[in-house]
Amino acid sequence: MRAASPKKDVIAVVLKGYPRLSETFIAQELLALQKQGFNLQFISLRHPTDKTTHPIHDEITAPVNYLPEYLHREPLRVLKAWFSLRRTDGYRHAKATWWRDLKRDRTPNRIRRFGQALVLATELPAETAHIYAHFLHTPASVARYASQMRDLPWSCSAHAKDIWTSPDWEISEKLEDLEWLVTCTSKNVDHLRALSKNGSKVELMYHGLDLARFAVNEDRRHIRDGSNALDPVRLVSVGRAVAKKGYDDLLASLGNLPEGLNWSFTHIGGGPLLPHLKSMAISLGIADRIDWRGAQSQQHVLEALRRSDIFVLASRITQDGDRDGLPNVLMEAQSQKVAVVATDISAIPELIRDGETGLLVPSQDPEKLAGAILALCKNPEQRTVFANKGDERLRDLFDAENWNARLAEKFRSIVDPASEKGIR
């Protein structure tokens, strides 16, 4: 008697790195899918570099397979994968695709993607039904090549840098190959549909916020107005110290605040530009007002938000096109009724309505940013209005449970989850 074929119920999730402190939006999605009973396996292109993790990562139990980050470090693993697949039709299909890509992108990274795809295709469980990549650049390339090697469907969740720094030809060809793509802003949707022959493949799906983890801050009272040196207005920002976050603009704006205004600023996040920013703060004469806390867990971020008055984010578009999409930290701040000042780029206006739920200013304009910060520092009543309306809009439109339920339905059409849990 012929042995029964294994049940095809595994969703292989390809991630650039796992776990990552800066990608809580991915973690909350993966946990939601796990709770729905889906059989997940994570494939990470890189080993973790953060020294800590968020509590949410402890709740996620799916196994993780780390691919060779650099092919020369695990040559036997790569060679074994190639030897196993070299005579298959899938390998020939993927190699032809990769060769066309390599002619237009002659980089070591392109070679590494193909080697990682070989290992992925070989080591995927026989029960794999679908490959799902987070980010449209490197992870999607690895997923695409591996899907061709294994003759499996694949899909993608696209975000920010991966969209705006990838060449149009590559995005168009990936959109033609995949089954569907979800992305987290309307601006992304418009851009991707313009590059697709079948715009219906692209769907808006906000990450939203897991509101069960961010209960309403009922004790929030906005009373500080910058007049008390012993109780200054508390400013906070959370984000990696990289160019697109605009922290040099933010420091310049803080340096422009009037001397008589009492304020303090807390920054949470790692990043390569931290030494430069700390030096800049010294040169501006504001270093004694700044608390640089480095990378922190979500629990510590939440505690900092609860103690703060104004959240500031000075995002900008860099020369290579890199930018934020819709930063989850803005939602986290609003969930704790912190008044928000941000720049008006990308999808930030999809969340923050200028003059209604916060203040928006042009990017790379420290003078206007300083003016917005000053206005909110001196007006706790206005902060209260923005904070309450921002929290209300967040809970109406950006509840992650609703958006994750829609994503679960897409996967439910591919595989039946192991549990019979319904979507609430």
Query: Taking the CB of residue 69, how many other CB atoms lie within 10 A of it?
Result: 14
Residue with tokens 């040196």: 229
Distance (Å, rounded) from C-alpha 205 to C-alpha 347? Answer: 13
**Whole-number pLDDT of residue 239:** 96
What is the tens place of the pLDDT at every residue in 113-172? 999 999 999 999 999 999 999 999 999 999 999 999 999 999 999 998 899 999 999 999
Q: What token pair was written down for 27?
A: 């973690």
Peptide bond before residue 380 is cis, with ω within 30 degrees of 0 = no
Q: Is the sign of the CA dihedral 159, 25, 125, 155 positive or negative?
A: negative
Percent residues over pLDDT 70 in the chain:
97
CA 253 to chain centre: 26
- Reduce the DSSP state of residue 336 to 3 states and report it: coil
Q: What token pair was written down for 189?
A: 């949707």
What is the tens place of the pLDDT at every residue in 362-411? 999 999 999 999 999 999 999 999 999 999 999 999 999 999 999 999 99
Q: Are 180 and 155 in contact (CB under 8 A)?
A: yes
**Whole-number pLDDT of residue 423:** 38
Q: What token pair was written down for 11?
A: 């969703």
Q: What angle do CA 194, 197, 199 make, to 5 degrees?
A: 60
Q: Are 325 and 185 in contact (CB under 8 A)?
A: yes
Distance (Å, rounded) from C-alpha 217 to C-alpha 221? Answer: 9
Distance (Å, rounded) from C-alpha 77 to C-alpha 91? Answer: 17
With b for 16 or more beta-carbon neighbours within 10 A and e for fewer, the 175-194 pattern comes to bebbbbbbbbbebbbebbbe
Distance (Å, rounded) from C-alpha 166 to C-alpha 137? Answer: 6
Delineate the domains of the chain, giving CATH numbers in brackets.
Answer: 10-208+399-412 (3.40.50.2000), 233-397 (3.40.50.2000)
**Whole-number pLDDT of residue 424:** 34
What is the tens place of the pLDDT at every residue in 226-285? 999 999 999 999 999 999 999 999 999 999 999 999 999 999 999 999 999 999 999 999
**Whole-number pLDDT of residue 5:** 63
List all residues 6 or more positions away from 68 whose beta carbon is below 8 Å from its beta carbon. Answer: 74, 77, 78, 115, 116, 119
Alpha-carbon distances of 107 from 32, 114, 116, 321, rounded to whole Å:
37, 12, 15, 19
What is the tens place of the pLDDT at every residue in 49-78? 888 888 889 999 999 999 999 999 999 999
